[in-house]
Structure 1
Amino acid sequence: MSLHQDPELKSAVLNLSQKEKDKLLVRLINKDKMLLKQLHYQLLENEDDLEDRIENLKKNLESLFQDTIRKVSNSPTFANYKALNNILRQASGLINEHEKVTKDKFSTVECRLFMLIYPYQNYPLLYEKSPIQAAGKLHKYITARIKTTFNNIGSLHEDLQFDLQEQTSLLEEIKERLDSTTF
């Protein structure tokens, strides 16, 4: 139930003393890790911290994809499709958390582009048509991420879109390749 659905409870909470409200607020914040991260960012960090967060995210993504070298090879096997799908989901999770905390659209789009382009360039055989079910799942997941990324790019200022033109054309190439692999 939400506080808006129970006006009596909302009124009672608003009538609490400031000290009691503060105690409740701190207890509630501790129960939601994402809210805690968002508040920390909004209240205690500045532009320099944002740049540090972006650099850390990029390093984490690069590290994650460097690990793919040991887990994934450029051969169309069930294990490779499955491993790449898992790694892409991990990368997407890191980017989603960054987006929820910072609400920085440009760095989010940059990182999503890296997440989508890097494996395409390094494992092109995994983007070809395959009867293996894991390939279909991987292609469907990537196609959904591409659609989301194009929407995010469209919401950026046109100057920023221009800066991403080269990566956007690569993303279009990936989309066309995946569209041709569907049965």
Structure 2
Amino acid sequence: MSLYKDQTLKEAVLNLPQKEKDKLLIRLINKDKMLVKQLHYELLEDELDLEDRITDLKNRLDRHFELAQASIKNLPMYSNYKQLHAYLRQASGLVNEHEKITKDKFSVVECRLIILEDAFDLFPRLFEPSALAPALKLQKYVQGRIKNAMTSFDKLHEDLQFDLQDQMTRVIDFAHDHSL
């Protein structure tokens, strides 16, 4: 039940003594790990911490793709399509978490483009036309990721777009060449 649907409960909570409200707030915050991370970032971190977070995210993505390269072969086989799809989803999850915490649009677009570029550079044969169901599923997923990156890119200020233009062009060219 939502607090907004039950006005009497809402009023009762608002009328609690400040000490009781603080205790309840702390208990509720501890139940949501993402909220704890968001609050930590908003209340305790600054621009230098954001730069550290971005660097850390890029390093995690690099390690993620090193693992992918070690376990996935660039051969159009059923298992390789499925594995790459899983790795791309995990990498996107890292960026999604970063986005929820920091709300930094530039680094999000940059990291989404890094994911696509790495996938295209390391596994180009997995994006060639194929009739296998996992290949089609991978291609559909990547099409969605490209669309998402383009939409976010278009919302950036033109100076920021200029900084990412080369990456975006490489991604779009690869997608066009491989009919994605």
TM-score w.r.t. structure 1 length? 0.95
- Give the structure 2 partner of residue 119 of structure 1: 119
Counterparts of 1:85-100 in structure 2, within 5 Å, are 85-100=85-100
Please give the per-residue CA displacement for 1:8-59, whole angstroms capped at 9, x wherever unaligned: 1111111111000000000000000000000011111111111111000000
- Give the structure 2 partner of residue 102 of structure 1: 102
SS at match of 2:74: coil
User: How many residues align structurally?
Assistant: 180
- Give the structure 2 partner of residue 51 of structure 1: 51
**Kindly, what percent of the aligned residue pairs are identical?**
56
Query: Which deviates more, 6-15 or 97-106?
Result: 6-15
Counterparts of 1:20-99 in structure 2, within 5 Å, are 20-99=20-99
8 Å Cα contact 1:127-1:177 kept in structure 2: no
* Structure 1 residues not aligned, in runs of 5+: none
- Give the structure 2 partner of residue 145 of structure 1: 145
Q: What code does the residue aligned with 1:7 have?
A: Q
8 Å Cα contact 2:82-2:138 kept in structure 1: yes
Please state how far the C-alpha of 1:158 moved relative to its aligned partner: 0.5
Please state how far the C-alpha of 1:123 moved relative to its aligned partner: 1.1
- Give the structure 2 partner of residue 134 of structure 1: 134
Distance, in Å, in 1 between the alignment partners of 2:160 and 2:175 is: 21
Distance, in Å, in 1 between the alignment partners of 2:149 and 2:24 is: 38
8 Å Cα contact 1:128-1:177 kept in structure 2: no
Please state how far the C-alpha of 1:175 moved relative to its aligned partner: 3.0
Please state how far the C-alpha of 1:170 moved relative to its aligned partner: 1.4
Please state how far the C-alpha of 1:69 moved relative to its aligned partner: 1.6
Please give the per-residue CA displacement for 1:62-85, whole angstroms capped at 9, x wherever unaligned: 000011121111110011101111
Please state how far the C-alpha of 1:126 moved relative to its aligned partner: 0.5
SS at match of 1:74: coil
- Give the structure 1 partner of residue 13 of structure 2: 13
8 Å Cα contact 2:69-2:122 kept in structure 1: no
Distance, in Å, in 2 between the alignment partners of 1:165 and 1:42 is: 30
